[in-house]
Amino acid sequence: MNETSAPERPLDGEVALLASIWHRNRLAVRCEDTATAAELVAALIEYVPPYRQLVFCGVVPKTLRFVPDVKIIDLQDLAGLRDSLLGAIAEEGMGGSPLQIVYFGADREVFESLLAFLDRGWVATTALEDIPIDGGAGAGRREIQRSAASIVLLDPVPDNTFLEERIFEDTAHRSASLRKFLIRMKQSEVRLAFDAIQGEIETGNRYHRAFFKETLKLRERTLQKAFEIGLRERRLDLSSYVEDTPPPITRLLKKLTSLEGLLMAVVLDKNTLIGIGRYRDVDLPHKTISLLWDTLSDLTEMLSPKDNCRSLEISTTRYHVLLMRDDYLFGFILDRDVLPTAFKVAFNKIWPER
């Protein structure tokens, strides 16, 4: 057994455990004492997303037999159990609830004949020192000490643990129920976001990340998590169907932060939202821009049929709205005190890409 066991802060360990469970990584709770193992499993299943189907196999401790909504499979025939679980896992890609399996009291045969065939989504309690599972051995493996037991992370901890870290930071010195609320809320949000994105993509339209961030009101890290968890649970890589904001637009949106009085910037490519920046507290949907343009562009064509409209400035009692057509349609909401012409000059300086 070549496991690493570097000393770590308790918080790092919890972050790694939450991330591992959320990403359906494989874990082993190594402990001689079944009562201690049961306690650790009880703590770990707090990190299981609420929509996942918990499945207990093996010698299920009495204390855990009445966990709500758990399915207990008492099958002793490992080949039969393997076929049954593999069948249920195959349904995950077709919309079935993703499984979270816990095998209590796994011996060498259980690892070799059952768990080795399941590439994700299980926790096993075991007394084995040498866990016979391929793939995570060596550098990828981490071991987290918990009193008389250790939890072995058989797969590498996911790279993107920002959300997990944030939850533990935000709930430091707070109650477990508060933390549970945040964990479950975020897990449900990520799951619902994935479903919504999948539904939209199935319509066959073209989408950018900016559209989903804006429409689903997600931060970049949460959107990324939705793609990652969806891949682990549904085996479906939706990120490949969603386009990134073109790098020049990303750079532009960053540079625009330096322009005073700019509240919001929207970039559309043939009615597709490809970039958005909110620079000050303004609660206007990005559709404001496309709606204005759609309303007015037909009329502007009547104004000069062979003469393209380059920009449209609308001053209202609250804002200046600037619509500029280039390769893209840019929409800017400016503070009432800003001179739109001055903004245009500044914008032209920082948008050399065209």
Q: Which residue among 43, 70, 75, 296 contacts other proteins (CB under 8 A)?
A: 296
- Find the helix or strand (DSSP H, E) in which 215 lies: helix 209-215
Residue 258 CB, nearest distance to other proteins (Å)? 23
In the bound state with other proteins, the residue whose beta carbon lies nearer, of 157 and 309, is 309
Verify binding: residue 302, other proteins, rule CB under 8 A.
yes
- Which residues inside 229-288 make contact with other proteins, applying CB under 8 A? 284, 287-288
Verify binding: residue 128, other proteins, rule CB under 8 A.
no
Residue 188 CB, nearest distance to other proteins (Å)? 30
Q: Which residue among 291, 326, 327, 345 contacts other proteins (CB under 8 A)?
A: 291
Verify binding: residue 345, other proteins, rule CB under 8 A.
no
**CB contact set of 6 (below 8 Å; sequence gap of 6+):** 142
Q: Which residue among 77, 299, 337, 354 contacts other proteins (CB under 8 A)?
A: 299
In the bound state with other proteins, the residue whose beta carbon lies nearer, of 238 and 322, is 322
**CB contact set of 25 (below 8 Å; sequence gap of 6+):** 19, 120, 153, 154, 155, 156, 157, 158
In the bound state with other proteins, the residue whose beta carbon lies nearer, of 255 and 325, is 325
For tokens 């800017």, what's the residue?
332
> Would you say the C-alpha torsion 14, 15, 19, 20 has a positive or negative sign?
negative
Verify binding: residue 139, other proteins, rule CB under 8 A.
no
Verify binding: residue 215, other proteins, rule CB under 8 A.
no
In the bound state with other proteins, the residue whose beta carbon lies nearer, of 202 and 283, is 283
For tokens 């994935």, what's the residue?
194
Residue 335 CB, nearest distance to other proteins (Å)? 12
CA distance readout (Å), 306 to 298, 299, 309, 313: 13, 13, 9, 20
**CB contact set of 48 (below 8 Å; sequence gap of 6+):** 21, 54, 100
Convert residues 305-324 into a mask of x (bound to other proteins by CB under 8 A) and - (unbound): --xxxxxxxxxxxxx-x---
- Find the helix or strand (DSSP H, E) in which 249 lies: helix 247-255
In the bound state with other proteins, the residue whose beta carbon lies nearer, of 180 and 344, is 344
Largest alpha-carbon pair distance within the chain? 83
Q: Which residue among 34, 36, 239, 300 contacts other proteins (CB under 8 A)?
A: 300
Verify binding: residue 341, other proteins, rule CB under 8 A.
yes
Residue 321 CB, nearest distance to other proteins (Å)? 6
Q: Tell me how crowded residue 236 is: count the other CB atoms within 10 A of its CB.
A: 17
Residue 35 CA to residue 32 CA, distance in Å, equals: 9
Q: Which stretch binds other proteins (CB under 8 A): 1-9, 102-110, 221-229, 289-297?
A: 289-297
Residue 164 CA to residue 211 CA, distance in Å, equals: 24
Residue type, 53: Q
The residues that touch other proteins, with contacts defined as CB under 8 A, are 284, 287-288, 291-292, 295-296, 299-300, 302-304, 307-319, 321, 333, 340-341
